[in-house]
Chain A
Amino acid sequence: MNSNLLVIIAASAVFYGTPILFAALGELITERSGVLNLGVEGMMLIGAVTGVWASQHVPGTSWFVVLASIVIGATAGGLVAALHAFLVITLRTNQTVSGLAITIFAGGLGLSSYFANVWNVAAKPASHPIRVLDVAGLADTPIIGPILFHQTILTYFSWLLVVVCTIYLFHTRIGMQLRAVGESPQTADAMGINVVKYRYIHTIIGGILAGVGGVYYSLAIVPTWVDGMTKGAGWIAIALVIFGFWRPDLTLAGAYLFGAMQSLSLTLKARNVHINGDILDALPFVMTIVVLVAVSSGWAHKRIGAPAALGQPYEREER
């Protein structure tokens, strides 16, 4: 029963969708404050490389090392995001170009690869990978067992995060103020909200979550370092925020859809289903374009949920 193809695909959709979900939630929070960060791919790779490094060098019990790797990867992602925040919030540079700069600087041909070489992390696999758990012994339950109870700790954390984000954004005062900053910073400023502070904090939170997504790649999916290992997941995460209409729950659904497509090629190959592997590899990218076209045209043309001030610098002196 548990080896049923659909169950395997659903279970791996959750497994492979988790890092995209982290990155997309981070980007969602960042964009809600009116800051566009196109550096997700770069922040994920920096998180991934520092995560492997930590896993190889931090001493202690397995649980402690895994936790430390996640924290270190998250911190690294947050630091890179802080750079973006400084450029676009304080210096008011073009958010698109600055985000691209983050990805080029930190990405597969840049700093992440440099760190990997200097630290020689690719030489051996991560010593303490993040393993899938058997939650309450339910992993063997038919159908839902592998999907819901046989995942890594980060997957469960991501579910908690979706709930927390939803409550934070739509049911707390700070979340409402955050949305005000993203919709109309002038109004928010008039209300006495510190626009700069809100934007800095939420841009950095976005980087932290992208870093966690990166650690998931290098410690849970591959358990070793490969240059450019996120293979475009950061960009898919950015697209997901648009598909999810800037809402955490819809983003979760989207992340698992893309997780399913990323895993299809592996799952089907392992079961000797003969479909051209390149077509399966292309699927997530083709789907991203198709869904994006569908969302951006027709009934969704008004970009439901998009923060009105997304991508615009705020200049108090200019009023």
Chain B
Amino acid sequence: MRSPLRLERRLSQPRSLRWLVPLISIGAALVLGSILMLLTGKNPITVFQRIVESGFGSKTALRGSLIAATPLAFTGMCAAITFRVGIINIGGEGQFFVGAIGASLVGLALGGQPTAFTIFAMIVMGMLFGGAYAALVGVLKARFHTNEIITSLMLNYLAGILLNYLIFNSTSYWRDPRSIGFPAGKPLEARAWWPKFELFGVQIPLGFLIAIVLGSLVLFLYRRTRFGFEVGVIADSPQAARYAGMNTRWKIIAVVTLSGAIAGIGGASDVGDFRHILDAKGLQLAGYGYTGIVVAALARFSPLAAVGVAVVIGGLTNAGYALQGPDFQSGLVGTLQGLLLFTAVAGEVLTRYRIRLRRTTTAS
């Protein structure tokens, strides 16, 4: 049983592939998605048309897409930062939740203070909470060689349970005491809401701007500093890093903590920019952390590119919300995102190999 495909390793990578491969990946995902829709009795062309219209077709659509993109920019960066150095932190989801818990705590406590002060405190708390939660994963990996994929995932479920506890099953500080029948989070005072900016008539959330700044800073950290260089060496060859006297353990912890801190700021932005409460149910239904992995993979694990990709995927998500109904099922957008992830991963192969069809006639 010989495979009809043969992969030849490329000796050099043509520059054009850097643009071509993502385009081919997106195209392949569209084709596969269309096949799926045809199989389930939908017209793919109308579906895609409606997705583009309600994701990017108008100023309101764009505004909604930026709102959907903001959390994904943070979780996308969170995944990209660790994946690119070979650490698989899939705990962005939980780190985002915990960041939202920390930020809403100070947001509620300082609600009456000057807005700028509250916002600053919320960002710092989101960062600290998310970072600390992720540090746990880093310490376990660095100290005990514990598989970070599984620990970070288990911590996602635990963060979800913590949210349920705080809002539904206790009379915590976060829960609105007036909500008895349907427990809900205590609303933030309007003074603590994060401001929005306007560009060409489209509202841009503060969180999105923060994401752009953070993306640039992280890119600088990886490209231009000693820390970034050493982390890169550790990822490529842990042995070489040890011989060179680099402190591997500390750097693993630092990278994971940094990625969690960014996801935590995302949680702060979720509370400050959009929901203005700690929304236990909404956060768990959104799946920001997992979609962030799709974003990171499409951005080829570049933190700044992740912000851009988040806008595209955010548009898709936003269209999904807008169109949801009997003829546009809720799992469809998630499925399309999954397909995109597949084709992006498979597309990587084109940058490393040439694919040749094996001629069946040649006797070997």
Contacts and interface: CB of A to CB of B under 8 A. Distances in A.
Interface of A: 38, 83, 87, 90-94, 96-98, 100-101, 103-118, 194, 196-197, 227, 231-232, 235, 238-239, 242, 276-278, 281-282, 285-286, 288-289, 292-293, 296-297, 301, 315, 317-318
7 contacts: A93-B348, A103-B290, A106-B338, A109-B290, A112-B331, A278-B169, A296-B146
A282 B9 contact: no
Interface of B: 1, 3, 5, 7-9, 40-41, 83, 88, 90, 140, 143-147, 149-151, 153-155, 157-158, 161-162, 164-165, 169, 287, 290-291, 293-294, 297, 329-332, 334-335, 337-339, 341-342, 345-346, 348-349, 353
Given A100-B293, A297-B144, A105 B338 contact: yes
Nearest to A277: B169
A289 B154 contact: yes
Contacts, number: 159
Contact of B342 (A101, A114, A286): A101
A93 B344 CA distance: 10
Contacts of A100: 88, 90, 293, 341
Contacts of B8: 317
A110 B1 contact: no
A105 B342 contact: yes
For chain A, what secondary structure do more than half of its interface residues adopt (helix, strand, loop), or is it mixed? helix
Contact of B150 (A106, A196, A238, A317): A238
B301 to A, nearest CB: 10
Given A113-B330, A292-B150, A97 B345 contact: yes
Given A93-B346, A104-B337, A113-B334, A296 B161 contact: no
A285 B9 contact: no
A303 to B, nearest CB: 9
Contacts of B41: 118
Contacts of B158: 282, 285-286
| Top 3 closest pairs, chain A to chain B, by CB | A105-B338, A114-B331, A113-B331
B153 A235 contact: yes
A236 B286 CA distance: 22
Given A115-B331, A278-B164, A91 B154 contact: no
Contacts of A278: 161-162, 164-165, 169
Contact of B339 (A93, A105, A194, A297): A105
A298 to B, nearest CB: 8
B153 to A, nearest CB: 5
B355 to A, nearest CB: 8
A260 B9 CA distance: 50
Given A93-B346, A286-B158, A288-B154, A297 B145 contact: yes
A180 B158 CA distance: 38
Contacts of B334: 104-105, 107, 109-111, 113-114
Contacts of A118: 40-41, 329
Contacts of B162: 278
Contact of B338 (A110, A282, A315): A110
For chain B, what secondary structure do more than half of its interface residues adopt (helix, strand, loop), or is it mixed? helix
A277 B164 CA distance: 10
Contacts of B157: 231-232, 282, 285
A92 B7 contact: yes
Contact of A92 (B150, B151, B164, B349): B349
Given A90-B3, A282-B157, 16 more contacts: A101-B345, A109-B287, A109-B291, A110-B338, A111-B335, A227-B331, A278-B165, A282-B161, A285-B155, A285-B158, A288-B150, A292-B146, A292-B147, A297-B145, A297-B146, A317-B8
Contacts of B169: 276-278
Contacts of B155: 285, 289
Contacts of B151: 289, 292-293
B161 A93 contact: no
A164 B217 CA distance: 55
A163 to B, nearest CB: 28
Contacts of B150: 235, 238-239, 242, 288-289, 292
Contacts of B335: 105, 110-111, 114
Contacts of B294: 104
A113 B287 CA distance: 13
B331 A98 contact: no
A11 to B, nearest CB: 25
Nearest to B3: A90
A110 B337 contact: yes
A108 to B, nearest CB: 8
Contacts of B83: 97
A67 to B, nearest CB: 25
Contacts of A113: 329-331, 334
A114 B165 contact: no
B31 to A, nearest CB: 15
Name which of A108, A113, A285, A292 has the most chain B CB atoms within 10 A of its CB. A285
Contacts of A292: 146-147, 150-151
A87 B342 contact: yes
B30 to A, nearest CB: 15
B5 A90 contact: yes
Nearest to A42: B338
B341 A104 contact: yes
Contact of B341 (A38, A101, A108, A317): A101
Nearest to B39: A118
B149 A38 contact: yes
A87 B40 CA distance: 24
A286 B154 CA distance: 7
A156 B275 CA distance: 49
B11 to A, nearest CB: 13
Name which of A281, A289, A301 has the most chain B CB atoms within 10 A of its CB. A289
